Amino acid sequence: MSVFSQEFKVQSVEKALSRRPEQSLKQIAVTLGVGYSTLQKWIRLAKKNQLEKTESNMSKEKSPQDWNTVERFEAIVHCHHLTDDQASAYCREQGIYLHHLNTWKAEFLSESKLQRTH
């Protein structure tokens, strides 16, 4: 099961509610990389002012700096064969950005080169 950041949920609802008339909610869900029913649920919660997380839930979200080496490596491997759009969708689900993956990959590669020269 994917965990989406609060910011992503809010932005998704805003995008869905401000979509052009010719765009369906299903198209928006596909574009965002979320399930149609999930997006519908977020919209219902937002309309009831229940989409916002409580303080206790916010502590469960990890910032990119909190990712350990194994988690970073697994994310790089997971996204290796994905398109940029697919990798970006994965990153949104994880609460990180594509540039974090690129930075982590560059760090791994530079460490690997250093180890081979010594």
Assigned fold of 1-61: Arc Repressor Mutant, subunit A (1.10.10)
Q: Which residues of 74-83 are buried (b: 16+ CB within 10 A; e: fewer)?
A: ebbeebeeee
Residue 79 per-residue DSSP state: H
For the stretch 50-82, pLDDT in tens is 877 544 444 456 788 888 989 999 999 999 999
Can you give the residue ranges of every domain in the chain?
A: 1-61, 62-118
Q: Which of 19-28, 58-67, 98-107 has the lowest mean pLDDT?
A: 58-67
The CA distances from residue 51 to 14, 40, 42, 99, in Å, are: 12, 12, 6, 28
> Is the pTM here over 0.85, yes or no?
no
Tell me the chain's radius of gyration from C-alpha atoms.
17
pLDDT of 104 strictly over 70 = yes
